Chain A
Amino acid sequence: MNHSISLTVNGARRDFVLDDPRVTLLDLLRERLHLTGTKKGCDRGQCGACTIHVDGKRINSCLALAISHDGADILTIEGIARGDQLHPVQAAFIAHDGFQCGFCTPGQIMSAIGMMQEAQAGSDPERIRECMSGNLCRCGAYAGIVDAVLEAQAGADESNQRRSA
């Protein structure tokens, strides 16, 4: 039985016909939309490489059935830069060597952006490490990742202050 669903992906509405309900959001993004920035690491919710935002919240796309998310608003790593202008978290990861091989990086960045929006960690490195524990990095670039998040958080705080001033 075919199922029709529609999603908003990085701001654009996309309609799909699924001939199999087993398709995850991760596989839909990679195989149907060829948005391969979102990575398939463990495919079991343990590594965080597949982190995307669904209706504004970071989740593991490998454990989300596409069919169940009919109508959802999806943001992936491909949707965060403005043209050639990197998202501040992307720029901070480059500035602080927040990666080595880069495989976990899209998930790390989407998770970091989600964490900043959740506003639970602030600029406390311990809280940042805790709030980012769902993203594994086998190269062990954690020190650079925390530094990148700290800088991005400081930048966001500063621009919020400017805005409210």
Chain B
Amino acid sequence: MKQFDYVRPATVKEAIAAAAQPGAAYLAAGTNLLDLMKGNVSRPDRLVDVTHLDGLDRIDRLGDGSLRIGTLVSNADLAHDVEFAKAYPAVAEALLSGASAQLRNAATVGGNLLQRTRCAYFYDTASRCNKREPGSGCDARDGENRTHAVLGWSESCIAMHPSDFCVPLVALDAIVEVEGRGGRREIPFDELHRLPGNTPERETVLEPGDLIVAVRLPAAARGFAAHARYLKVRERTSYAFAIVSAAAALRIENGKIADARLALGGVAAKPWRARPAEEVLKGVSPTADAFQEAAWRALTDAKPSGNNAYKIELARRIVARALTLAAAGTPARIPALPASPFASSGAIHA
């Protein structure tokens, strides 16, 4: 690990000033950053430790019915907050399907949003990677790429975003609150992460010094609580990243879908909101045919980036199944195996 300067600011303002310098990086729990630093993948000159800042670890219900989650709230504390899990069950299920209990106890909200891809070539400093070393090339294109992106990828990068948490957040129109050199601003969740294009090293719209201080779920997100699920296929049932995942949330009134939200994980460099699929669901009955149609729409633009064409068909099936599970109703308790197709509770896809 490269040597670095350690800075512990007393205020958000001090943190922003310290982190705006070239080579600086914010440190929260460090569960991803330290791993990357040990592998010399990330080589910051300065770590700005935000874990001692006051007021960033709270969950607040605001007057307008929205929920504000401080950036330092741990993944576990959020998922196990009873009121939170009741109001936003797909988010809680996604959180509990990610990483391990130890990592969830440490990992933070902000850190989860900004975690880096798990592409093996990004991690291997002997490989070419346009994200790690802009302009060097991409060894994933002709390498082991069966888990790589099938949507939104470019010739320069086919990596995928590994977060589970982000998938229901983008589906539910979460807002990211950012403090930066120019003051406070709000970023719609779908606009936080960038697609790779020719600059895969730029993963978000954040500028130097920008600090995510909170994530807000709007009041309307609670309206899906009765029919919201997260479903995730991985290579083992627990403690593994998604190959494909989906967050499905429905508002059902008088037997018809009044509103629908759908997002996919594991398919692109960002959590993938599937708006065309949502549109075909609005106003129709929650039937297998409607879910098949939605699944087809969600993957219209998908194309293999390597040896991963199977992910497109897998994603269609996961979308249809997640919608089926959501329509059947949110289970009273998150299944023993969160988000698993092998979970024993909840409806099984016909």
Contacts and interface: CB of A to CB of B under 8 A. Distances in A.
A binds B: yes
Interface of A: 1, 3, 20-22, 24, 43-45, 48, 51, 57-60, 63-65, 67-68, 70, 111, 114-115, 118, 120, 124, 126-127, 129-135
Contact of B100 (A24, A127, A134): A134
Contacts of A22: 1, 3-4
Interface size class of B (residues with CB under 8 A): 20 to 34
Task: Label chain A's interface by main secondary structure.
Answer: mixed
Contacts, number: 96
B101 A63 contact: no
Given A64-B106, A130-B337, A24 B34 contact: yes
A65 B31 contact: no
Task: Label chain B's interface by main secondary structure.
Answer: loop
B80 A120 contact: yes
Contacts of A135: 100
A133 B31 contact: no
A24 B106 CA distance: 14
Interface string B43-59: 00001010110000000
Nearest to B105: A57
A57 B77 CA distance: 11
Contacts of A118: 76, 80, 101
A126 B336 contact: yes
A127 B340 CA distance: 13
Contacts of B49: 65, 67-68
Contacts of A24: 34
Closest 4 CB pairs of A and B: A134-B100, A133-B238, A21-B6, A126-B336
A40 to B, nearest CB: 12
12 contacts: A22-B1, A22-B3, A22-B4, A44-B38, A58-B102, A59-B105, A63-B30, A63-B31, A118-B80, A126-B344, A130-B237, A133-B239
B102 A3 contact: no
Contacts of B38: 43-44
A14 B106 CA distance: 22
Contacts of A43: 38
